[in-house]
A and B are shown apart, each in its own frame.
Chain A
């Protein structure tokens, strides 16, 4: 706000805008900006709510094993319905702060659904160990999808992307013998899909969707490389990094630039160590990594100018 005031004053002195315009802009910006006191109240509200949930959780955990399955189901079910109902109510509020609360409540509701089906499948229906994961992840994914369709906020897309990973991996876990070592590759593919869907404005909010996709792209190849004990997943990660960097320029999307840079910084040293640790030794491999990372940093700095523009 101080910057705005200074700028307005400079523009007024330069006769770019009139004093009336200065007043009008100041009034408009003040009205549009949330009051600091209301923001503090909101933060305190979340903090208090989180503490209350933790306290409730500790209280329930103490007696949890003494409860019958039906009582556990009833408890989680009532809480989940309460989260859903309160979220639906908060979503229609005029206050932006209360609408943000809706997102949080529905995020908790998704966790509640997962817990409810977990207890149902293991405690009541005695589902086989292999099928339990699907019993939990399929309904959780369905609910996360519906809630995201109704409210396209950060926490809803996070729940949806998380549930997508869970449902795909638990479906793959049904294959015997389970290809656990390849799970990283599947995580990478879901990450690519997230980025593509964010680019296509299908998955919203876009920034969060890009971020979630990039996180999976960074994690997946590392996991696959460790699981399979092979270097090709790291090459895949580096190729993806290059694609993200190129896309960041053409789309002028800073999140992709950050993701691509992160991928370079993660995969390049791993590749150098994979190939040169034994032949050149750790110090030389480390030095080589440093030199290449400096080169990458310079390139990325140049790309940043391309992305953000003059």
Chain B
């Protein structure tokens, strides 16, 4: 075998061997969760609003029990933190005008039904902290460490307890965790833009509500009869 043929053969072997090793040992599968779209759970109340990961993004609304997603305001949605009013209108912030303002959006038609001026003084009604803290002071914490993603609940004066923990690829993480308005459920957005729902104590275990949410945005939960965002006006 001459030198050139040997060199080409050895090069191909080295690259193929490394690629095979990477595919065998390097590709850690994403965690799977049972789907609420396939098997809805009517014990989970209310509706969830979120920003889709599409280009351009839309405002998505889905029943928390599982089901099809309604996409609204595609291409014109104000991408920002979401909330709900007590009356069941979606709240977001519009930065496009000279003076920032809250938009109150009908979750069925997607129309802006009202606007409320904001000067961003305290308290901040759409602050994420308010959605990750329950009425009794229990705080949701996400803890991500090289592929081990965990959601914990820290009740005042107690050690945090894990309600959801899973292994995945090294960059897998839980990015956002928020309480349902009744405090019985936890909504989690993972690094794949999947929205999960888990019971407040960890049972029922995590189920997949939908895929294709923007991982950097919160998802806001509405249950009729529970207080919503207070816009102070």
A: which residues have CB within 8 A of B? Answer: 168, 172, 175-177, 179-182, 185-186, 188-190, 192-193, 196-197, 199-202, 227-229
Contacts and interface: CB of A to CB of B under 8 A. Distances in A.
Contact of A200 (B4, B14, B169): B4
A199 B7 CA distance: 7
A201 B18 contact: no
Contact of B30 (A177, A181, A193): A177
Contacts of A196: 7, 10-11, 14
A193 B8 CA distance: 8
Contact of B171 (A175, A180, A199): A180
Contacts of B8: 197, 200, 202
Given A179-B23, A188-B18, A193-B11, 13 more contacts: A176-B30, A177-B168, A177-B172, A179-B169, A181-B170, A189-B14, A189-B18, A193-B15, A200-B3, A200-B5, A200-B8, A228-B170, A229-B146
B23 A175 contact: yes
Interface in B13-35: 14-15, 17-19, 21-23, 26-30
A197 B11 contact: yes
Contacts of B23: 175, 179
Contacts of B10: 193, 196
B149 to A, nearest CB: 13
Contacts of A202: 4, 7-8
Contact of B14 (A176, A179, A192, A228): A192
Chain A binding surface, main DSSP class:
helix
Interface of B: 3-8, 10-12, 14-15, 17-19, 21-23, 26-30, 146, 168-172
B26 A197 contact: no
B22 A185 contact: yes
Contact of B21 (A185, A201, A227): A185
Nearest to A227: B170
B214 to A, nearest CB: 14
Given A185-B22, A190-B15, A196-B14, A177 B4 contact: no
Given A190-B15, A192-B14, A179 B22 contact: yes
A228 B147 CA distance: 11
A199 B18 contact: no
A207 to B, nearest CB: 16
14 contacts: A168-B19, A177-B27, A177-B29, A177-B30, A177-B171, A179-B28, A185-B21, A186-B15, A186-B19, A193-B11, A197-B7, A200-B7, A201-B4, A227-B170
Contacts of B7: 196-197, 199-202
A200 B6 contact: yes
B22 A186 contact: yes
Contacts of A193: 10-12, 14-15
Q: Which 10 pairs of residues, A with B, have the shortest CB-CB distance?
A: A200-B7, A179-B26, A193-B11, A189-B18, A182-B26, A177-B169, A182-B22, A200-B4, A196-B7, A196-B11
A168 B15 contact: yes
Nearest to A194: B11
Given A197-B7, A201-B3, A201-B4, A175 B27 contact: yes
A143 B55 CA distance: 32
Contacts of A185: 18, 21-22, 26
Nearest to A183: B22
A229 B147 CA distance: 12
A185 to B, nearest CB: 6
Contacts of A228: 170
